Structure 1
Amino acid sequence: MPAYAILTLAIIGEVIGTSAMKASEGFSRLGPSILTVLGYAAAFFFLSQVLDRIPVGTAYAVWAGGGILLVAMAAWVLYGQRPDLAGFAGMGLIVAGVLVLNLLSKSSVH
């Protein structure tokens, strides 16, 4: 499986874990608490699988940036937490940073 496909699975796991963490209400609800643990376990497992093919800094930047964007979207859909203009601008800068890292940096895998 291509490295970036595995990294995408890591991002999805993190988004599931983080979104479920909000629903777990401080780990007081069993179902969302289990989903949080499983989501993060999957995230770290898949992230560990790509670190021999993608530099750790690049993998983490893509993982964290993708997670931030998708968690913000999930929070908007699931919990009505709409980002304000500054939030959208900040997330746009994260996307720009990940693109620069992946498209222009010599430290990234091209």
Structure 2
Amino acid sequence: MNWLSYLALLGAIVFEVVGTTSLKASEGFSKTAPTVVSLAAYGIAFYFLSLTLRHIPVAIAYAIWSGLGIVLIAAVGWIRFGQKLDAWGLTGIGLILAGVLVVNLLSKSVEHG
């Protein structure tokens, strides 16, 4: 597996988190700067995701994208917007993260090397 594919996936995740954070800050696209940042970040995120899909199966890439994206967005929501999760919310996010780890560490669907 090409390590650059995982680097592109990391870039896609980071830009998706920036896009989602800016989407929240845009207040329903009523603020111009966060709206522009959100749209640009999503465009860049999808570009990097398209590069990722050249070498990583779509199901695996999407599992990593969504799992790590959820964890990072929850952290940003907590730090930047003061949004808190209860024990069940944290448990659910933990299970999602555990699923991503199982897929990547144990599944034969992912080439390791």
TM norm. shorter chain > 0.5: yes
Provide, for residues 42-101 of structure 1, a one-character-per-residue CA deviation record: whole Å limited to 9, x for no partner: 110000001011011000000011110101100111100011111110011011100000
2:6 aligned with 1:22, yes or no? Answer: no
Counterpart of 2:14 in structure 1 is: 12
The structure 1 residue matched to 2:61, chosen from 35, 59, 62, is 59
Separation in 2, partners of 1:67, 1:42: 15
Return 5+ residue gaps in structure 2 as ranges. Answer: none
TM-score (normalised: structure 2): 0.94
- TM-score, normalization by structure 1: 0.97
Moved over 3 A (4+): none
Q: 1:96 aligns with which of 90, 95, 98?
A: 98
Indicate conservation of the 8 Å contact 1:102/1:108, yes or no. Answer: yes
Q: In structure 1, what is the equivalent of residue 73 of structure 2?
A: 71
Same amino acid, percent of matched pairs: 51
Query: Are residue 108 (structure 1) and residue 94 (structure 2) matched?
Result: no
What's 1:44 paired with? 46
Structure 1 unaligned spans of 5+: none
Which gives a bigger RCO, structure 1 or 2 (Cα 8 Å, sep 6+)? 2
1:2 aligns with 2:13: no
- For the aligned residues, what is the CA RMSD? 0.9
Aligned pairs, number: 110
Give, in whole Å, the separation in 1 of the partners of 2:87 and 2:41.
29
